């Protein structure tokens, strides 16, 4: 989650307020990958790529055998989880289409779609004060109390 959906959803979200088409400052380092690749896929192409990464991340989220950071298995067999992953894929595709338009208003609109898609998984599986409850649907957590 931290490596792909978190990172790339934030690039989509940032495009609401910061114009991806605006010139970027040059890299501040003098050597290495940071300088070499800083502006290779920047601007709107970075937003497009991020949206595609979100769409494809849903496939990764459905790989059986994955575990949450608390050690519980990712609930890939549960309908709520599957629908949330499908929603992330759809939101990523919508964000890609919006990014292709190079229109910040379109990104503002689609950012809500991405946010809602994220919440479909966060609310039932992630948003708990006790991290031991993560990856357990709200219904099962409530029933156990």
Q: Is residue 12 part of a domain?
A: yes
What is the Cα–Cα distance from 122 to 116, expressed in whole angstroms? 10
* 35-49: average pLDDT: 77
Q: Tell me, yes or no, whether 101 lies in a domain.
A: yes
Sign for the pseudo-dihedral over CA of 78, 84, 89, 90: positive
Does residue 7 sit within a domain? yes
* The pLDDT of residue 141: 47
Q: ∠ at Cα 132 (66, 144), nearest 5°?
A: 110
95 inside domain: yes
Give the chain's domain count: 1
Residue position matching structure tokens 């708990």 = 128
**pLDDT tens per residue across span 91-140:** 999 999 999 999 999 999 999 999 999 999 999 988 888 888 888 876 55
Residue 124's nearest CA partner among 71, 89, 85 is 85
User: Alpha-carbon distance 78 to 111, whole Å?
Assistant: 26
Report CA 4 to chain centroid distance, whole Å: 6
Residue 48 lies in a domain: yes
Bridge partners for 73 per DSSP = 67
* CATH label of the domain that carries residue 131: 1.20.120
CA-to-CA distance for 123 and 87, rounded, in angstroms?
A: 14
Tell which phi-psi region holds residue 106, choosing left (phi > 0), alpha (psi between -120 and 50) or beta. alpha
- Residue 85 covered by a domain: yes
Residue 67, φ and ψ in degrees, nearest 5 = -130, 150
User: Is 32 part of a structural domain of the chain?
Assistant: no
31 inside domain: no
Full domain range(s) for residue 89: 2-22+40-144
Token look-up 């929603």 returns: 87
Give dist(CA 135, CA 3) in Å, integer: 18
Q: What is the pLDDT of residues 83-98, one digit of tens each?
A: 999 999 999 999 999 9
Q: What is the pTM of this model?
A: 0.83
């Amino acid at each position: 989650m931290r490596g792909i959906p978190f990172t790339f959803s934030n690039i989509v979200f940032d495009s609401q307020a910061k114009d991806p088409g605006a010139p970027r400052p040059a890299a501040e380092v003098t050597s290495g990958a940071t300088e070499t690749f800083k502006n290779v896929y920047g601007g709107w192409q970075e937003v497009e790529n991020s949206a595609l990464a979100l769409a494809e991340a849903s496939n990764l989220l459905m790989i059986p055998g994955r575990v949450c950071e608390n050690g519980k298995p990712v609930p890939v067999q549960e309908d709520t989880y599957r629908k949330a992953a499908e929603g992330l894929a759809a939101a990523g595709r919508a964000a890609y289409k919006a990014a292709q338009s190079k229109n910040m208003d379109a990104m503002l609109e689609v950012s809500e779609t991405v946010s809602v898609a994220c919440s479909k998984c966060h609310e039932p599986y992630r948003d708990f004060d006790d991290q031991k409850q993560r990856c357990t649907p709200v219904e099962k957590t409530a029933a156990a109390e």
